[in-house]
Amino acid sequence: MKTRVGFGFDVHRLVEGRELWLGGIRIEHSLGLLGHSDADVLIHALCDALLGAANMRDIGFHFPDTAGEYKGIDSKILLQKTVELIREKGYSIGNADITVCAERPKLNPHIPAMQQTLAACMGIDPDDISIKATTTERLGFTGREEGISAYAVVLLEK
């Protein structure tokens, strides 16, 4: 069996007047992430890690933000399409480990729901998706609540 590792990183700006979508679920908050899609930064980092492990470029290559069909799209659809792409190349998912950096809101209570949602979307066991939430101790753009960043590592098997 061949195993391959992939890494993904993404950032979106926090603004007023947008819903906050993270890990495939909507979270009540005064600010939301800005983007062409629903701006689910966690899912975008995960997609890039999956594509990276399969050496299949990145999310912007497959789902360009200039394409009208992706405007306001639910990122879970992009994740499903990404998983289809890597399965077509013969890969299956071993596990994923994701870290989200956000000063607010508190994400820990939402992590089990995110794991369930993403696992269902990807057709894998929730135990194979780890999600961790951290702050940057009020430092930098995440600390100033100007944005949220996410990092993901994925293992693929063939």
Q: Binding residues for Zn ion, per CB under 5 A?
A: 10, 44
Three-state DSSP state, 46: helix
Considering the complex, what minimum distance in angstroms separates the CB of residue 98 from Zn ion? Answer: 13
Token pair listed for 140 = 């930098």
Considering the complex, what minimum distance in angstroms separates the CB of residue 12 from Zn ion? Answer: 6
CB closer to Zn ion, 45 vs 54 = 45
Q: Single out the residue of 158, 98, 91, 81 nearest to residue 134, CA to CA.
A: 98
CB closer to Zn ion, 67 vs 90 = 67
Considering the complex, what minimum distance in angstroms separates the CB of residue 106 from Zn ion? Answer: 22
Considering the complex, what minimum distance in angstroms separates the CB of residue 64 from Zn ion? Answer: 12
CB closer to Zn ion, 65 vs 125 = 65
CB closer to Zn ion, 75 vs 117 = 75
